[in-house]
Structure formats: C-alpha cells, structure tokens
Structure 1
Amino acid sequence: MKKKVAVLFGGKSTEHEVSRVSAASVLRNINQDKYEVYPIGITKDGKWFEYTGNLDKIESGEWEKDVFYKTPEAHKILFNGEVDVVFPVLHGLYGEDGTIQGLCKLLNIPCVGPGVMSSSVCMDKVYTKYVLENFQIKQADYVVVNRHDYKTNKDEIINIIESKLGYNIFIKPSNSGSSVGITKAHNKEELIKGLEEALKYDRKVLVEEAINAREVEVAVLGNDEVKAATPGEIIPDREFYDYDSKYKSVQSKLLIPANLNKNKLEQVRQTAIKIYKILDCAGMARVDFLVDKSTEEVYLNELNTIPGFTQISMYPKMWENEGEKYSELISELIELAIERNNN
C-alpha cells in the first residue's frame, strides 16, 4: 500500500515564493509509484488548501486562484489522520523554525527533517552561535542587537559594534533565511540603515564580522547514522550571496567539489557532521561555512534545516554528485522521517 505524504508549501514567511518553487520541484520528482501525494498550499495569511492542479501554477502563485473560496481548508487532512508523513517544504518562519514540527509531533505524524528543538535553534542564528560556542566551533565575531535596546540606546550600541567589529560587517535578522533582510555595512551610515532594515524582520539582529572567504556548503543526511556529501562552493555574482544572487541571477555559479585541497574538503565535511550531531539534527540539513581565502581557517556560517529544493539548489545537487538521484533523495528523506518517529 502506498504511503500518504502531505507536501506543504508556501507559508507565512518572507520565503513564501522560494518555498513554492522548491515544492513544485519536489512534487515533480517524488516517486508516485511509492507515495500517494497530497500537495497542501499555505497562503501568506495562513489558510491551508489542498491543490491538485498544474504544478506550474504553484511556482507562479496562480494556484491560489484555483482553490481560494472553492476548496475547504486542508489542515483537517492532518488532524483527521489522513496522511502518513508530512514533508514541509516551508523555508523560514512558520515552517523551518519548529512550529510545523511541533504540530506534527502533537499529531504523532512523521515529519521530514529535524525536530522541534533542533529546528528552532538552527533557525535562530544567535542561538546557534550560543550553543556551538560551547563545542569550540569556530565562528565569526559578533554583536547581538535587540530592537528595544536599539531604540533606547542607539548611540551606545553603535559604539559597541564599531569598537568590537569595526567595518566591514554583515547585519542579519536572527530568524530569517534566503538572505532576506541581510545587508553589508562599510561605514556608520550603512550600519544604521542595515540595522533598521534587519529589525523589520526580527526583534533580534546579529551583527557579524565579514570574513574574506569562500562560501562552502555541505549536504548532510541521516538520523543516528549520518553521512555528508562532498562540499560545494558558491561563486556569487556580487559582493555577497544575497536573495537576488541566489534566486534571480544566472551569473552565480555552483562548484562541486569546492575549490579546496582534499584535506580541507574532508575537514569541512567532518565538521559539518559534528555540528549536525551536536544540534541533534535528523533527516537533513545544509551546513554552510566560510573558508578564509588567506588562512583557510573554517568558520561556521549557518545551518538550513529545510534547504532549497529547486532544480539548481545546492542540497540536491551535492547528493546528485554522489550518485543519488533527486527522486531517490526524496524517498530517503521520507523513510528517515518514519524511522525517526518510530524510535
């Protein structure tokens, strides 16, 4: 009998559009002989609908016109126990941060990817740093800025950042992905603009030293038995790998393997596995590093527990390089979710 899999897409986060593209790719490649698939779209205002139409309309956003006010909301599919597994292709908040994972846990439905604690910690860049500092994982120097503190002590916070980090620096919302809300500051004016931009997306902001580095990523897969693919490297088409560079530009390049010697590639790969295990990840994660161009020191950048799944995304590309086809990868992730739920 086929297992029933709910593939969730869209959602309330700033990464709604990216989620749709990833999900359409998953839906085109999932093994229909093994799984009965329930595509469930979530609108930006949080309404859930089952969608069985043209997958191109998921990518464009037109799917909503086919279901809105016509189809009963689909969250009941989960609550009524009609599916065996949930595959949340929901990047960012309300999907990658432990919320969907918690819902699935309450309903005792296997969910693809890491669980509640791991998802929430990995989503929060600041707390990822706090945890991994205790395990001697090398990371860039940083300052954390709280929205309330910034409003009440702006000058003091600017002085702390300048004295500890100087310039050039990155400003990042702590809970955001796909480089949404991230800017780079070369001076005080850009710092203030960057902080105000990042604080639109989160009450907590990470200000981090900019390292002149290669951007190297590792695809990790597994529950208790973990494996990692050969690291790949991003060659961005601009100063840093921002949202447009990731999803709109055809000039950015992906190199597999990364342009590092064999020993350094293995160091990065093993460090990715170590971090994955420390943070109790399961199913999958993409671990992103910065490798200093001068010293080759390896710094953790961030983890993505629901990495991009578009046809050009690094996570499936790295496993394809290892000989694992896209459809096989999807099947393995579904079976890992069932295994984790049973243990």
Structure 2
Amino acid sequence: MDFIDLIKTHAKTIPALKEKIQTEEGTKNALIMPFIQILGYNVFDPSEVNPEFTADVGTKKGEKVDYAIIKDGKPCILIECKSINSDLSKEQASQLFRYFSVTAAKIGILTNGIIYQFFTDLDEKNKMDIKPFLEINLLDIKEPLIDQLKKYTKQALNLDELHDDATQLKYTKEIIQIANKEFSQPSEDFVKFFAQKVYPKKLTQKALENFTIITKDSLNQFLSDKINERLKSAMQPESPSKTPEAQSTEISQPQTAETTDVIVPTEDEWEAYYFVKAILHDSVEPSKIVMRASKSYFSILYENNRLKPICRLYLGGKQKHVGIFNNKERQENKVALDNIEDLFKLADQFKATIAMYQAPAPTQAT
C-alpha cells in the first residue's frame, strides 16, 4: 500500500475512535503511535523511538517529551502529544518550545492525533519558532501536503533538506495568507500600488476609495479568468489517450463539433462529478474517473474511455436526469433527479457499473 493510502486509511479510523478516546494516553495509543509507525519508525525500539525522552530544562530536571525520533544516536524530531479534544495553541506549544532549545532536535511536532503542527528554528537558530511552518489535519487532508509529510518517513529523512523545505513552506504560507487578505480587503498600500500605475492624477481620498472597489473587483475578475482558462485547458481532448483501448476509441471515432468545441462544465456538473468520485472512492482510484462535457450532456467516464461510461448527466433543463449504464448491453437507463444530492441514492448502481468494467474479460475456448 502506498504511503498516501496508509495515511488515508489511518485517517478514516479517527471519527469512530474519537468518541471513545478520553485521555492523552488514549490518544497516543490509538492515533499517534500508529501514525509514527506509518512514517516507518519502530515505536517499540527505544533506539529509534524513545518514549518519555528526558530533556532537562535549566534547573528543571527530569522534564520529558512524549516521543523523540532518534537518528545516529541523537534526537532529531521531538513529538509533544495532547489529548484528542485539545485545541493546539501557543500555550500548548510552550512545553515543546522549552524542550527544543536544550536538545539536538531540528524538528518539533505538536499533535492531538488529528492535527500535526511542525516547527523548526527558522527565525532564530536553536530557538523554536512561534508559528508552525507546516500543519496537517488528517480529517481534511490536502494531498500536496502529504508529499511533504512523506519526507519525514524513516526512509526519506534528510534534516538539511527538511530545513530548506521548511523555509519555503513558511514563507509560501505567509504570502498566501497576505494575498487572501489583500484580495478580500485590499489595504491602502496595495490599492496605491495599482492605482499609481494606471491613474495619472493625484490620488485624493475619494479616488482612493473608488480604486479600493476597482482593485477588489479587478482581482476577482483576474482570478475568475484564470480559473476559466484552467477549466478550458482541462476539458481539451487528451492525445494520446491514457489507455490503448481508449486510444483506439478516439482514433476510430471522427471528431465532431461536440468534441472539438471547448465546453466549460456548469457548477452543478462540477458538483455532480465530485459526488460521483466520492461515491466511488472505495471502488476505484479517483484518477480513473474522468469527466467530459458536451453540448447535450455531461459524461463521467471510467479510464477516460467513451466505451466505459459511468453515467451521463442532463442538468440543463427543469427536470434533471442521470443516465446509468450498469446492464450488460450498456444501454442507458435515465433516472430523474430532484437535486444533485440524489446521486448518492444511486451509489449501488454506480458501483455495479464499475464492477462490470473491472470484471475480467471471459476467456474464449480454443
């Protein structure tokens, strides 16, 4: 099983366990130790994962951090655990802050078993930063961050590279936060930057107020245009197709106006597409579920193959319909929809369609 699948499988256990875990010790045993094992470390080998690692702080002796990941005989990652119901805050991080400065560790992790906050010493050497450079919520997994998490596995661990990554993540995160704030509520300096490039007159207070509105509207339009460009690019036919079967299908069928025109999916169609992917997430890899828009309907295909339709959606009229193909003849059976959420009622039929496509082809007698 791939690393990302191990993380996702672990994350799926959290909601059921959350109601049963009441203490920090329970959080460690049920959630944090399995997480450390997924990273490739043997939690039962103290030379690799040292529990209750002693970190004397000044006159305080016997101070202990919950776990220390050991490399070359020295602690390289400290993990401070809190109860699953704890909100991770600066106060919660203070204990980890003290441990960090008196050990050789370069990475500190604060966690409640669901959220993992990663700290290092970017602002001042050997002094843990106040803000984490990386935060991962296992109940809201962002796949690009899983690639970052993989770098903390035993097999991939490289502390020098992690420090460089932390620098980039820290400033990328902060710039995105600034951009989000400026796009929603442009500051005076931000507005002046644009206004002075397009407005030749003196910027009076009234002009500045007008340009605040203009700047906000312009930025929203810019983002909208960029999103539409990405959507149009995503909807263009792939060449060559991903599978030999799909490739032969594409070659044998001449292009029509329906396939050459770029058609941007509607909001309902996007929502339906993600609903179908969610329904089938246990049955098939999400990357194998592909959408394709046309003038008359919106298709969701298995393996990007027109001969393997999962469904067709007709959402433009007053009455919405979905076409299902789970019979041996692969004939379309239309079902009326009161709303997009009704797709979940058809989950078994979608899964039957996928099972039909995944079934091995019958062998021919010789």
Per the normalisation by structure 2, the TM-score is 0.24
**Bigger relative contact order (CA 8 A; separation at least 6):** 1
More strand by share: 1
Per the normalisation by structure 1, the TM-score is 0.25
